[in-house]
Amino acid sequence: MANPDRGHGPKSVQLIELLRYFPTEVESDLSHYHPTIDILDWYRGKVSARQVLVRLKHLPDRSELKKAMRDGDWSQDEHVMAAIFNDLRMLRADYGSVHSDGRSPAPTLLRSPAAMKEELAQEQFHADLHDAMVAQATGKYQPPKRNSAYVTTDSLGMGGDVHA
């Protein structure tokens, strides 16, 4: 018996969007956390989009889908635990510097994947800026090439005119 909501309605659209961006994560998490439901069951009309979405919505934070939706970053609980861990490390370092000769090493703190990506992006930006400044100072700077023609768009971002 075909499911009446299959391919129609807002729930189906939501599920299609999830499958568009996270197909392997959805399949993996359904098979891991809900082994009685396969995404093919929705395609075949055996379960509704709502039934699949409810199961996906209530996945644990450690699931592949939720991790992918956070762009690989930690969950809120993991951020809290890392903050507590970092605070304890800082307290131990403070205690060590007060009760020793003052030469205790700086503690190594935990950084989230998002923080590490941001640091790498900042380092790359600074390296590129340094290279451009050195090239300009030595007379080897080549400004970026620009097209002589450009396209303007209207306020809705639709089509536009080409100017030469």
57 domain residue, yes or no: yes
Phi and psi at residue 150, in whole multiples of 5°? Answer: -140, 160
d(CA 48, CA 54): 10
d(CA 5, CA 12): 7
Q: Could you give the number of structural domains in the chain?
A: 3
> 88 and 131 share a domain?
no
User: pLDDT digit of tens for each residue in the chain (164 aa)?
Assistant: 344 444 457 999 999 999 999 999 999 999 999 999 999 999 999 999 999 999 999 999 999 999 999 999 999 999 999 999 999 999 998 888 888 876 777 889 999 999 999 999 999 999 988 988 898 888 887 777 776 665 555 555 555 555 55
Domain range holding 87? 72-110
> 63 and 16 share a domain?
yes
> 98 and 129 share a domain?
no
| Residue of 59, 56, 92 whose CA lies nearest to 75 | 59
